[in-house]
Structure 1
Amino acid sequence: MPTPKPDTTTDIILIRHGETAWNRELRFQGHADVPLNDMGHEQARRIGLRLAQETAVQHVISSDLLRAQQTAAPGASQLSLPIATTASLREQFFGIAEGMRSDEIQALHPRAWEEWLEFREDHAMPEGETPREFHARIIAALGTIASAHRGQHLIVVTHGGVLDMVWRTAHGLSLSGPRRSEIPNAGFNRIRIADPAAPEAIEIVEWADTRHLADLPPQPTYDQTRHLQRKD
């Protein structure tokens, strides 16, 4: 009888960080190292309790930005696992727009704002990262993670834009156009990558599950389409 081949599928529980003050104010965060606010810490505590049930998890990996590490900490503590950090899982870099609300960008950089509203895959805020560059960075990061953890179960804590790239890739969607997937803070998402050599072949198993947050106040909603409605 032939020896069965080992399963190389990497099972990833993908978590967006908890809420920050800048989320509440709808500011562009990008690479700015913003901590969780009180609500974000409560969300992190709750996702940590949920992740404690995932006893098959072998590793916890986080973006190196503070808001992601603070979100990862309760779950890692529950599972008695260290947190490995990487800059490759950071949010998209928004250049001059980081720290600003949409109205502030519109007032100070009107041309950059109008161009951003076209949501083109090769357009970036001045000094920032285009969606195409961002997507390439994230898919490469997932490939590196899947290759290093073949057949393992992981928790990966990262950012909303990263989850948007995962969603678009899994559904074969364009990198152009506004975000269309639901990506709540501290939501529970599960994906699988069967072949580390093809990290773009992502299977979504669960998405945007927030049962553990059900009795908390509504989250601030980052809806890119609202800008287009105001423009019209």
Structure 2
Amino acid sequence: MTGRVLLVRHGETTWNRAGRIQGWADATLTETGREQARAVGSRLVDSHGVDRLVVSDLKRTLETADVLRAVGVGADPERARAWRERNFGELQGLTRTAIASRHPEYHRGGSLLSVRSVAGGESLSAFETRVREGWNRLVDGLGENETAAVVTHGGPIRAVLAAVSDRELATLASEFSPANCGLTEIELSASGPEVVGRDGTDHLPV
């Protein structure tokens, strides 16, 4: 089959701005986040014909999808729990500095996503399995030459990149964190998925 999947991280939230870990906790978009969403929405309208719009069922992604629809993305949103961020349990709401002070094994400059287990939350392996199953369902259900945009979070984007590039998620997660409303493009063909754009940001306001 042929097609394309566009992975979009949600716009900036109040907790992003404060440096707090979100996970499954809900925070609303800032005005900057809405501007970012309008910018990526315009890019999707101008450069891609979006046939399906798949959205994580958390508030920040739903708000981002609402903005995409307002600027002209015509597909009806399909809520999908599989595309949620990882559940970070007792760490949700804390800053990285606070986490490092409570858990000396966590390096403040590292990726929390790569931590194998989190009290009260989701293990790294369970998170990977959930996202990969969501990815497989999406690809299997995509029509010939269709384009799907997925509004999700930094963790699932990196999990998909790790899966399609056959890399370890913990290693890939330590290399970069997707930008708010960054755009990752994956082409689907008979030879398999190919990442043709990773976390593009040239559409975002300076």
Tell me the TM-score normalized by structure 1: 0.77
Kindly state the Cα deviation for residue 67 of structure 1 after the two structures are TM-superposed.
0.8
Kindly state the Cα deviation for residue 193 of structure 1 after the two structures are TM-superposed.
3.7
Residue of structure 2 aligned with 1:189, choices 175, 184, 193: 184
Do structure 1's residue 60 and structure 2's residue 53 form an aligned pair?
yes
Hey, what does 1:176 align to over in structure 2? Answer: 170
In structure 2, C-alpha distance between the alignment counterparts of 1:118 and 1:187, rounded to whole Å? 18
Residue of structure 1 aligned with 2:147, choices 153, 161, 186: 153
Residue of structure 2 aligned with 1:134, choices 114, 127, 133: 127
Hey, what does 1:3 align to over in structure 2? Answer: none
The answer on whether the counterparts of 2:158 and 2:169 sit within 8 Å (CA) in structure 1 is: no
Gaps of 5+ in 1: 1-7, 216-232
1:125-154 C-alpha deviation (Å, 9 max, x unpaired): 102112221111111001111122232111
Do structure 1's residue 42 and structure 2's residue 35 form an aligned pair?
yes
Alignment identity in percent?
A: 28
Tell me the TM-score normalized by structure 2: 0.86
Q: Greater CA radius of gyration, 1 or 2? A: 1
Do structure 1's residue 204 and structure 2's residue 198 form an aligned pair?
no
The answer on whether the counterparts of 1:187 and 1:209 sit within 8 Å (CA) in structure 2 is: yes
In structure 2, C-alpha distance between the alignment counterparts of 1:206 and 1:102, rounded to whole Å? 29
Hey, what does 1:167 align to over in structure 2? Answer: 161
Aligned length: 201
In structure 2, C-alpha distance between the alignment counterparts of 1:94 and 1:193, rounded to whole Å? 31
1:68-97 C-alpha deviation (Å, 9 max, x unpaired): 111122323303321111111000110110
Kindly state the Cα deviation for residue 205 of structure 1 after the two structures are TM-superposed.
1.1
Do structure 1's residue 72 and structure 2's residue 65 form an aligned pair?
yes
The answer on whether the counterparts of 1:112 and 1:125 sit within 8 Å (CA) in structure 2 is: no
The answer on whether the counterparts of 2:45 and 2:73 sit within 8 Å (CA) in structure 1 is: yes
Do structure 1's residue 98 and structure 2's residue 89 form an aligned pair?
no
